[in-house]
Structure 1
Amino acid sequence: MRLPPLLLGLFLGLSAQARSSTSDSEHAGHMAHGDSLAHTDPAAHGGHSQTEVRSLRDIPLMRRGSGTSWQPDLFPPAMIHGQVGNWGLMFQGLLFGGYDVQGGPRGARALEALGWAMLMAEREWSSGQLVLSLMLSPDPLTAGANGGYPLLLQTGESYRGEPLRDRQHPHDLFMELAASYTHYFSDTWGLMLYVAPAGEPALGPVAFPHRVSARFDPLAVLGHHWQDSTHISFGVATVGLVTPLAKLEVSAFNGREPDENRYDLDPRAPDSFSVRLSANPTTRVSAQVSYGYLASPEALEPEVSANRFTASATYHAPVGARGFWATTAVFGRNLESGEPPTNSALLESSVDLDGHHAVFGRVEYVRKTGHDLVLPEALEHQTFDVGALALGYVYQFAPWGPVKAGLGARGAVNLVPESLVPFFGSRTPVGGMVYVRLAPIMPNTR
């Protein structure tokens, strides 16, 4: 496969910049055995890691988002870590529980609990780094009724042999079961290999459940199946060239969406591929562009394949002594067999003002077909511009050990064209959720 010249040129340019910023021997012997988490500890920098990355050995483990995707190195203290011999252990997770109400004729209401928990084990040698990942979700047990939780205008996957509409499907129990190894040929470039029976190919931004910009929002993005829906793929192999500033990856993976049994693995021979260029030019910024070919992603339409293009950028910054601001912009485009191309756009942001008060918002636009929205057959091949504006607030209590609890509320105004009013009851159907949020924090931070 030939890499697009623009991606290759950008990667080589960033590689040269990284090489000129430090000599190959500048950081030799930087990490001793037993110190593998020293460069991942935000507490050493006032709660936020702000160390400039000049060597592959300096890349913080928290740069990794979901799968092998990158997020900014500046990261809030939201994990628990420890050391067992030469292995560094890290635990992350989020859990939301509350009452979800979506209005209008196609809406519903339900008590739901959503979330994920991840354990990573990392071992560092002078020649490279090994990372093992296990991520689980309670969604099949807590949000599996009727195929998922209510969410107006959401589409994708199926339940009892019928396509889902106005519901977000639950995530599978096994969200990730993966191993990755990065070999350091020098301080400025290396080769990464990622293998996952359940994992994420190099396609799209950090998946929405794991983005800091979405960490206070319990509900999914409407453009999920245009942007990051491959974050649970059952069979992934990725190889990447890595520098301190950039990474160029190619993946082979199983393009089929998970089936309706959310408790098992769904292995298939790799039939899809993707390529992604990621860059972290500063500790506060991360960006990516990617392309993927997804063979037969939907079980109900095995003859339909898709080409997907995504681009995204994320910005992180501290706010005062204890706060944190994160913003992500995403563009996604799908071209499916026999259908016109459809686009999506997202801008989301969260601001933790002081460790107690947090506000968040999301603006979305997606062009969906009548088939996506499960409209009558006469409208199946028409396209419709839909969107949503969501705002929310969370009050976070003082930490209880390494865990912080919060009470939150989220409201959304959805936007549909006049032609869809007969189905949704209004051009602006609304939805909302009140919830409790639980998350780990770095011990000894407040």
Structure 2
Amino acid sequence: MIHLYWCFAVFWSFIHGATIPPVKDGEMELKMVHVVWRHGDRSPTTTYNADPFQEDSWTFGGGGWGQLSPSGMFQHLQLGKKLRNRYVNTGNSTYNFLPAVYDQKTMYIRSTGINRTLISATSNMLGMYGQDGYGSTAGIDFPDAVGWPRGFVPIPIHTVDYDSDHIGNMDSDCPRREWLWNLAQQSDEMKAWRSSSSVRSVFNNLTALVNQKWSLEDFWVVPDALFIEQIYFNETLRQKNLWFTDDFYNQIVAVNDQIYMYEYGIFNKTVTMQNLNIGLELLKIRSGPLMNDMIDRINKKSACTYKKNETGCNWINGLKYFVYSAHDETVYSVLVALGLERFAIIPHGYPLYSAAVVVEYWRNSTDNNDYFKLVYHKQSGDDFTVMTNEIEECDRDYCRMDVLEQVAKKLKPDQPIDQWCLVTESSGSYSISISFLSFLIVIYNFFLL
């Protein structure tokens, strides 16, 4: 009896990941995985006034604007299965890295506070850990009760306030980003682009056709709605909007793609205004918080594993898998930060539904240095593609971690992002004002003494 109990205890420990051997590729050992994905297929988040398909046209996912569709749920179910095949210890996965049965110490799922990203995360976890036959046990991992889906293991999805989520939501409340964007639009490059005949023609034609004017930052509403309506109402769309043609739609998309690039600070040449590199400052606001959140966690993992006298390591020691369930712009922010925006695919110049960029942290046992591997899942149905060597400073599948650190350092906001977003003046002037304020505080305290 004791022998049987011991065997069961060992087996139980094994399937829950306690005895998973290290994942190695020659001298490299996998230590942690970060995944940034876009939600699945959804309804439009809004539309133009003259659109025949208003909010009551969208009934799936609870109905209304911006809701995940059954197709979007399935896309993430499939991505979850692909991630399981890559990382979960099933004996035949690419890397037997995560336990076969969900272990809360090994993974953390963070989502923006929007229905479609929360449900995408749930759908993804259903594919990764929630299927019957995955090894979970009724009564331990899920209720052994009539009515509970067999094998479904609920996994917590953590979230924060959407408007102040500067890591996952690239359109969070941030006055500095709006101020920089207004400056950018006054640059010679953007004014020349905006007044070019091709761009002016698209704006003028669209305004006349739908009787609505557009700011650059709101222009995306039209191509986004039209893209989704072609999926769900293609024939009716063309019947009701006789002006809609594939050629005009492609012109609209091309304009929107360029706006998107400008918003992320991608200019043909350096734009300097008020002593600021506007492109860099926009990227610091949009990409900086996420890139630094990832690299800080990787560095903490490394320090807790390989340095002595580190504190606060209990949580990070067990953590292997961290997810950001977010948006097209979140995935795009990683690609732009690494100089890989060219991999954002058509028909839009940004990642499509369930696109995912993966940053794998590896440790070299020979030189005792940290490395990373960049992996991309372009869209639903695709496999994972290693694209580390597409980064300018990297020439192999594995790249030195200091390359990623330098990217994060370059894009790090000058102050904590919730404070930096409130600064609508140049970084230099802000630093001077802070120094002067600190000086006044010191003098004040001196006289109090």
TM-score relative to the length of structure 1: 0.24
> Which of the pair is proportionally richer in strand?
1
Query: Greater relative contact order: 1 or 2 (C-alpha under 8 angstroms, separation 6 or more)?
Result: 2
TM-score relative to the length of structure 2: 0.24
